[in-house]
Structures are given as C-alpha cells and as structure tokens.
Structure 1
C-alpha cells in the first residue's frame, strides 16, 4: 500500500513538471510565438522559473533532494535552446550568460562546503579524517539521485578541488603508502599539460584564419582538458593506498580505485615482470603498461576496479606501483595473517 502511494506521489512529482514542459514545447512549435517578444519572455520564464518552482513545491516535503531543482532548470534551458526559435532566444541567452554561471558556482560552493562539514563531523566523531573524494561521492549521491550523474558531478568537483583548492600537504599515516614519488606519472601528466598548452596556442592562431568561433571552441576544450589532467595529477598525492580496517584500499588518484577484503587476497608479490595478458589482469594505473609496477596482487575471486566516472572493470590479478614496496608487502601480509 505504502509502495503504491509512493509510486503515485512520484508520478505526480515528476509527471506534472514534465507535462508543463510538454505544453511549453507545443507552444514553442506553434506559430503564435514567432515575432511575439512578450510571449517569448513568458515561455522563457516558465521554462527557467515556473516549472522548477512547481517541481520544488511538489518535492519540498519529500525525500527527493531539493537540489534536483537545478537539473530541472537545466532541462528547461536545454528544451528552450532546442525548441525556441533562434530569434526568440534573447532572454534565454541572457540567462546563459549571467544567471547560469552564478548557479554553477553556487552549486559547486554548496557541494564543497557540505563535504567539508561532513569531513569535520566525521573527524570529531571518529578521530580520523576521511578521504575527500569518497565523502564527495556520498554527498553527491544524496544531492543527485541518479548514480551515474552523481559520479559525474563528483569527478568534476574533485578535479577543481584537487587542482586549485587543496594545496595543503597530505600527511601520510602509518597504514598509508604513496605511489607517486618514484613514479614517472606526475612528470608525464605535467608534460602532457605543457603539450596541450603549446598545441592549443598554435592551433588557435591557425584556425582563427578560417573560423574564429571554431578556434575559441577548440581552445576552450584544450583548457578544459588541461584542467582535468591537472586535477588528476594532483589527486595522486592526496589519495594514498591504505591498509584499512577489514580491507585494502587501493587508489590511483581519482582515476582508479578498488577495495579488497583481506580474505580475498591470495598472494602479494614483489615483481616487475610483465603481467599476463588476459581479461582479468589489470593495472591500478589507467596508463596500463606505460607505467611500471613493482607489486602484483593475486586474488582468490574476481573483484572490481572502479575508474573515472564510475566505469568498472573486473580483475583477479592487479599490478601496481608502491614507493616502498617492501614495507607495503610486509605490513599487508601481517594484517592478512592477523585477519585469518
């Protein structure tokens, strides 16, 4: 009975705003809106304000996150951009230019503040500092119901956070191990950023002779890529490998991670030999064979390696690089013996 009521309630919560959007689409495709500036303003206001407001009033007393009003507003923006005639998009363009950046910055600020508050609360209760990216994913899951979208948002926020905000040196605990100091990956990623910068400038001036708009689009994409790579590179030093309580947490910045129960570990081998080429043999580094490994972990059963934006790969053998492989092996094997 309760399930039926919840289903009907959700049908109203989402069905009514979508119904309003359908009516607005019908109106935008009609001839009434052509050359009618007042109607264009009214439709734009309905798409960006009225529909999100109706949605908010419907969900305000439910468990649906209030922040989902923003995606509803973005949906209205996308619908308006597609269905509203170009000559009637004056107010829509004003919203894109002035209001949308403010909303994006506000959402980013809200997420980071909430994550930091969660971390502070956790630290007071548990006496330990949780991983920022793990906390961020949990917070985004609360804000955005769709898991795939939540991971996308979490990754984008993490890139900005690690790349531009978190410049404090990470204190490495006794149960944590770094993997970036003796690895060539930071230098490789740094070189990649430089290549992107040089190439972007050269391509920009070359394309500007034919199309200035295309030149700026490609330059913006290059800048976005460079920011992504910077965030990935800086996250390496912020997310060490951790021999935790009950499980081994293997991380490679925000690019790859996996959690392995100690009971699932068969062997921990110090080796730089080439890995077998099969579907269940992976490397912790997304660079694969382009980055050397010095530790090979073999499991009794398959496990999951989670990559950027939540992409998953199964494995039973995992190669990884650790700055102090001997200490890592010794401590891990001691913990495994104690957990048996």
Structure 2
C-alpha cells in the first residue's frame, strides 16, 4: 500500500510517461506526414504513412479509412478537390451516387421507426448515435468520390476509388485508349490475367492498353503484379479519351 503522497507521485510519473509517449508518437507521425508530402504524396497518402509509422498495420489501415472519410467531407464542404496541381480531372461515381443519397435520405425514416418501435430509451439513444454516424460515413464516402477524382498530368494517369485506392500508370507506356464496357467485377480493384480493373458498381467504361507490362500493387502492402491493360470507369468517357490521348501525344 502507498501513502497518499507516494500514490500521487506514482500517478504523476505515469502521467508524465504517458504524455511523453503521446508527444513522441505525435512528433513521429507529423514528421512522416511532412516527409511524404515533400516527396509528392497527396494528403491521404501522407496521412496513411503517418498512421502506419506509429500504429500497427491493421489499426493504421482502419484509422486511415475512417479519418479519410471525414477529411474528404471537410474538403468537400470547402469545395477543395484533392487532386495534384495542374492535373486534368476525370470524374467518376455518378452511377452509384444516387444510391448513396437514397441511403442518406432514408435515415430520418429509420430514426422515426426506432422512436416508435423501440421502447428502451438507452437503446434508442445508441441507435440514434449509430444512425448519425452511419449517415456521416455515407456522406464522407460521397465526398471522397467527388473530391478524389482520377487525374492526368505530370506524365502519369492517377486512378482512384474514393480514398481507398490510388494507382498511377506512366503515360509513356500507354499504347491505346478506347471506350468499351466490361461488367461482372466484384471488387473495387482487381487484377486478373494481366488486366487491372477499377470498376464503379460492377462495370468499367474505358480500356487503356500498355506497350509493355507494368508492375502494380492492387493494395498497399500487397505484392506487385504485372498488368498490360487497365480498365476503369469515368463519367464522361468521350472527354476522358480526349484528355488521355492529348497527354499521350504531348508526352
């Protein structure tokens, strides 16, 4: 048993040690963020790198996804696209946004149903909090689709799916660009038989053929796989083909 004075001293020592750990991790994360930004990474990439510096990989990945949604929502409110300076933008996601908006507008009905059907006040409060958080999550996802478009510039084509996936392809490897629809995909990014697909819903609308295989990691931490064709979706396929063709010719 400690005396009161000893207990206070031990408590203060533990608090100081904890504060030192927090400050050290914050400093390391800030340094990693700034280093990533100085090397050309966008805000989301730098955030992911900062989190992975101080947290276990699974925790860093989960927190990066959550922080990314609210970061996207904040930039969306401020109307600040998260695209490299000077890049031309190719928007995507118009096919799934109506579904996401429908989910947002159904939340008031869900809350009303809970108020009438659930008799326990504590449960109602918990479900209300979950509904609000879920709504913010969906709005953040809509925001991420809007402010993180595909982009073309600096000799590369940058393809994204919200803040979850980002893959860059050098334009000097592009052999041809054409409009063609492929369907049946089940993941946001997948590589099969040398074909990289980044669909919206389950479909892609553009095909980019490469002159030679190019190594791509489908997700951070996954092994590289060589691809010879890239399929992705864009809202305006004609404009996308024009922009890509013009940049290929310019390069």
The answer to whether the superposition gives a TM-score over 0.5 is yes
Q: Deviations over 1:226-268 (max 9, x none)?
A: 1111111012221121224343211122133222234665653
- In the alignment, the residues of structure 2 paired with residue 57 and residue 237 of structure 1 have an alpha-carbon distance, to the nearest angstrom, of 39
Conserved? CA contact 2:76–2:146, under 8 Å = no
**Aligned match of 1:65:** 25
**Aligned match of 1:217:** 126
Structure 2 residue 120 is matched with structure 1 residue 202: no
Q: 1 or 2, which has the higher helix percentage?
A: 1
State how many pairs are aligned. Answer: 234
Residue 167 (structure 1) shift: 1.9
Cα pair distance change 1:231/1:201, threshold 3 Å = same
- In the alignment, the residues of structure 1 paired with residue 70 and residue 240 of structure 2 have an alpha-carbon distance, to the nearest angstrom, of 31
- In the alignment, the residues of structure 2 paired with residue 311 and residue 288 of structure 1 have an alpha-carbon distance, to the nearest angstrom, of 24
- In the alignment, the residues of structure 1 paired with residue 75 and residue 246 of structure 2 have an alpha-carbon distance, to the nearest angstrom, of 37
**Aligned match of 1:156:** 66
Match of 2:89 among 177, 180, 202: 177
Conserved? CA contact 1:275–1:319, under 8 Å = no
Conserved? CA contact 1:282–1:319, under 8 Å = yes
Match of 1:167 among 77, 97, 102: 77
Q: Deviations over 1:21-54 (max 9, x none)?
A: xxxxxxxxxxx9xxxxx99xx69x95xx654532
**Aligned match of 1:54:** 17
Conserved? CA contact 1:137–1:150, under 8 Å = yes
Q: Deviations over 1:208-231 (max 9, x none)?
A: x2x333333233222222111111
**Aligned match of 1:238:** 147
RMSD: 4.4
Structure 2: where are the runs of 5+ without partners?
Answer: none
Q: Deviations over 1:171-227 (max 9, x none)?
A: 68663223248x2322221111122342243134312x2x33333323322222211
TM-score norm. by structure 1 comes to 0.53
Q: 1 or 2, which has the higher strand percentage?
A: 2
Cα pair distance change 1:175/1:327, threshold 3 Å = farther
- In the alignment, the residues of structure 2 paired with residue 312 and residue 223 of structure 1 have an alpha-carbon distance, to the nearest angstrom, of 34
Structure 2 residue 232 is matched with structure 1 residue 269: no
Larger RCO (alpha carbons 8 Å, 6+ apart): 2
Cα pair distance change 1:165/1:322, threshold 3 Å = closer
Show the 5 A alignment for 1:259-298.
259-262=168-171, 265=174, 267-274=176-183, 280=192, 283-285=197-199, 288-289=201-202, 292-298=203-209
Show the 5 A alignment for 1:1-340.
46=11, 50-51=13-14, 53-57=16-20, 65-66=25-26, 131-142=42-53, 144-164=54-74, 166-170=76-80, 175-180=87-92, 183-207=94-118, 209=119, 211-262=120-171, 265=174, 267-274=176-183, 280=192, 283-285=197-199, 288-289=201-202, 292-298=203-209, 300-301=213-214, 303-306=216-219, 316=227, 318-333=230-245, 335-336=247-248
- State the secondary structure of the residue aligned to 2:167: strand
Structure 1: where are the runs of 5+ without partners?
Answer: 1-31, 33-37, 69-109
Conserved? CA contact 1:248–1:260, under 8 Å = yes
Conserved? CA contact 2:151–2:158, under 8 Å = yes
Conserved? CA contact 1:205–1:215, under 8 Å = no
Residue 164 (structure 1) shift: 4.0
Conserved? CA contact 2:171–2:248, under 8 Å = yes
**Aligned match of 1:80:** none
